[in-house]
Amino acid sequence: MREIKTPPAYVVTSVDHALRIAVMLQMEGALTVSEVAQRLGVARSTAHRLLSTLVFRDFAEQDDRRRYRPGRVLALAHHSYVETSRLRTVALPTMLELMEVLGETVNLTVRVGVSVRFAASVECAAALRVTSREGMAFPAHLTSGGMVLLAALDPTEVHELYTAAPADPEELAERPDPTRLQGELAKVRRAGFALNSERSERGIVAVGVAVRGADGPVAGLAVAMPSVRYDRHRLPWLVERLRRAAAQIEGHLTETS
């Protein structure tokens, strides 16, 4: 079980900014200097220096329109980051509204094999809160968003995912018991949502539902909160609000397809 992540006191700002840019490029594709500066809250000159360094180290490359794209180190299939970028753009306004209604951090995750990556995160303003996980990857079976996405698969597909040889040997140690996982996913299918009570990180509870596209679920939408603030009696209300928000995102996805 992971501990709640808090920024280290010794964080090196320039390194942190460079890593955040790398994640944005990998997840979303091309970005301009101005877009990067706005996202990081820094001057254009600072954003330009950071991007130039990433280009030098092959983490980024500049196209003929002076936009920065993932370099060789970060290269993903074109459709992956285009779809993730569109999903993020469409979902963020609804996520912001949901965060204001619930008063807790809202996350959007996409599944890649047996892992999920946080494509977007909107932090709440509470002093004690779940901080942004944007760009981070977790085992899918340990997150609420990952569980609803796994539950959308046929049990045979889930079995194949978790019995295939892992690309990373360390991944094997994190894999769940297949029989237990299938039982948990069956409950998620029946309920239509997933509850993560300190499975991924100690001290955090999250509730997630699926966001569906034309061909099935494309993301998990979840609200995450400190466990001391979770009230199980509010679970039906949380699920209902999440479902409304997911439906709104789905409508916007249809409009922009």
| Per-residue pLDDT tens digits for 157-181 | 999 988 876 655 666 677 899 899 9
Residues whose CB falls within 8 Å of the CB of residue 87, separated by 6 or more in sequence, listed in order: 108, 110, 119, 211, 218, 219, 253
Any idea what the Cα angle at residue 193 is, between residues 189 and 196, rounded to 5°?
115
Residue 96: inside a domain = yes
Residues whose CB falls within 8 Å of the CB of residue 83, separated by 6 or more in sequence, listed in order: 218
The pLDDT assigned to 54 comes to 92
**Which residue, among 117, 130, 144, 138, has the nearest Cα to 208 in the 3D structure?**
144
Single pTM value for the model: 0.73
Residue 1: inside a domain = no
H-helix or E-strand spanning residue 163: helix 155-163
Residues 19/11, Cβ–Cβ less than 8 Å: no
The CATH code of the domain that includes 193 is 3.30.450.40
- Can you tell me the distance from the alpha carbon of 77 to that of 50, in angstroms, rounded to the nearest whole number? 24
Half-sphere exposure of 234 (CA within 13 A, CB side): 13
Instruction: Render pLDDT for 18-44 as a digit per residue (tens, 0 to 9).
Output: 999 998 888 788 899 999 999 999 999
Q: If pLDDT is split at 50, 70 and 90, which confidence band does 1 have?
A: low
Token readout for 175 is 């894999």
Q: Which residues pair with 112 in a beta bridge?
A: 115
138, 62: one domain: no
Instruction: Render pLDDT for 65-116 as a digit per residue (tens, 0 to 9).
Output: 899 988 876 764 444 666 888 899 999 999 999 999 999 999 999 998 888 9
Q: 10 Å Cβ neighbour count for 232?
A: 10
219, 100: one domain: yes
168, 233: one domain: yes
Q: Indicate if the pLDDT at residue 236 is higher than 70.
A: yes
Average pLDDT, the chain: 89
Q: Indicate if the pLDDT at residue 156 is higher than 50.
A: yes
Residues 194/125, Cβ–Cβ less than 8 Å: no
**92-96, 202-206, 211-215: least confidently modelled range:** 211-215
Q: 10 Å Cβ neighbour count for 167?
A: 7
137, 245: one domain: yes
Pairing of strands 68-70, 204-213: unpaired
- Examine the fold and report which residue of 24, 54, 70 is the final residue of a domain before the chain moves on: 70
Q: Indicate if the pLDDT at residue 208 is higher than 80.
A: yes
Residue 2: inside a domain = no
The pLDDT assigned to 78 comes to 47
